[in-house]
């Protein structure tokens, strides 16, 4: 699929999830590179990259991955680029596998875990833990796009006990089921350890804080934001109001797709490089994104 079509599918959320949108974007740049016949490759690749980066503003995995392809293009021959992109994509899928192994160790037999939205990092971690431990997952619907239905279906398919609840039932569910841990994914991790994730995450974090329940984030390091290290702010995407419901005369609507959870509410961040406190985000950025920060 070409970058323009891919950008459209990312914007419409036909392709979604912070890791999947990054991989789809770089795969489209790989195919573009393979089919390129012009004479101004870097300039033309940068135009395609810009289309992809504009498709959704919050998940920094997207610009990180696209910028890395541009970095590779500027430091290697065009003929080498497709193979280098394939290698990068393989590394990202391996990162997901590695973090799931590490994260599974923080899940105990008999845990009741609440999650929000639909995160492959979360689901692979739960699936890995469920190989040897009894786990019951409580998942929210996640209005307005109801990604929680994908989570519930996935867990049911893998015979992991799962209960679907309303977003507004989180506090009641924590009390009713005796939730032991919260495990959520991430779209972006800022340099100060704050996490951008699906709207409603920060409310869950504040409830977990009140109940003194561990709030854990599962995320690959590709979602750490070098730009925030340099002082930039992460834009919270606002989506079509009609995702909430059809227009109502005399009623305005507001539909932010993400929110930020402050580091104080986050106990651990599980990555493929290990488990860190949110305040160690700086270390990850220095080690993993030196090329970007120069």
Q: Torsion angle of alpha carbons 231, 263, 257, 31, nearest 10°?
A: 60
Quote the least distance from Cβ 182 to ligand RI2, whole Å. Answer: 12
Selected from 63, 185, 226, 278, the binder of ligand RI2 by CB under 6 A is 185
- Window 38 to 97, contacts with ligand RI2 (CB under 6 A): none
| Binding-site string for ligand RI2 from residue 112 to residue 141, where x marks contact by CB under 6 A and - marks none | -----x-xxx--------------------
CB of 179 to ligand RI2, least distance (A): 18
Please tell me whether residue 187 binds ligand RI2 under the rule CB under 6 A: yes
Which active-site residues does the annotation give? 117, 187
Minimal distance, residue 151 CB to ligand RI2, in Å: 10
Place of tokens 């990180």: 64
- Check residue 197 for interaction with ligand RI2 (CB under 6 A): yes
- Count Cα neighbours of 53 within 13 Å in the Cβ-side half-sphere: 16
What are the start-end ranges of the H helices in 36-137? 41-53, 61-75, 81-104, 120-130
Size of the site for ligand RI2 (CB under 6 A): 15
**Strand arrangement of the beta sheet that strand 162-165 belongs to:** 162-165, 136-140, 112-115, 181-184, 215-218, 268-271, 274-276
By the rule CB under 6 A, 205 interacts with ligand RI2: no
Closest to 73 (Cα-Cα) out of 105, 100, 43, 93? 43
SS3 (DSSP) at 256? strand
Stretch that binds ligand RI2, among 45-53, 128-136, 168-176, 181-189 (CB under 6 A): 181-189
**Interaction site with ligand RI2 (CB under 6 A):** 16-19, 117, 119-121, 147, 185-187, 197-198, 257
């Amino acid at each position: 699929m070409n970058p323009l079509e891919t950008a459209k599918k990312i914007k419409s959320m036909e392709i979604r999830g912070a890791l999947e949108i990054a991989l789809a974007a770089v795969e489209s740049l790989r195919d573009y590179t393979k089919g390129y016949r012009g004479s101004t490759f870097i300039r033309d690749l940068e135009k395609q990259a810009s289309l992809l980066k504009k498709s959704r503003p919050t998940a920094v995995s997207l610009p990180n991955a696209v910028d890395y392809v541009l970095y590779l293009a500027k430091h290697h021959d065009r003929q080498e680029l497709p193979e280098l992109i394939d290698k990068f994509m393989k590394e990202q899928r391996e990162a997901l596998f590695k973090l799931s192994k590490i994260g599974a160790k923080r899940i105990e037999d008999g845990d009741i875990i609440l999650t929000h939205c639909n995160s492959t990092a979360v689901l692979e971690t739960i699936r890995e833990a469920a190989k040897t431990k009894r786990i019951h997952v409580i998942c929210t619907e996640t209005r307005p796009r109801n990604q929680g239905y994908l989570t519930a279906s996935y867990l049911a398919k893998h015979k992991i006990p799962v209960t679907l609840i309303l977003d507004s039932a989180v506090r009641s569910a924590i009390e009713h089921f005796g939730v032991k841990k919260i495990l959520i994914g991430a779209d972006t991790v800022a340099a100060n350890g704050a996490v951008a994730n699906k709207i409603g995450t920060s409310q869950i974090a504040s409830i977990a804080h009140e109940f003194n329940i561990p709030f854990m984030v599962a995320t690959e390091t590709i979602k750490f934001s070098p730009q925030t290290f340099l002082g930039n702010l992460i834009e919270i995407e606002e989506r079509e109001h009609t995702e909430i419901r059809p227009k109502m005369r005399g009623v305005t609507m507001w539909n932010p797709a993400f929110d930020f959870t402050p580091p104080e509410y986050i106990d651990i961040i599980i990555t493929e490089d290990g488990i860190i406190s949110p305040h160690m985000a700086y270390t990850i950025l220095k080690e993993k994104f030196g090329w970007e920060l120069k």
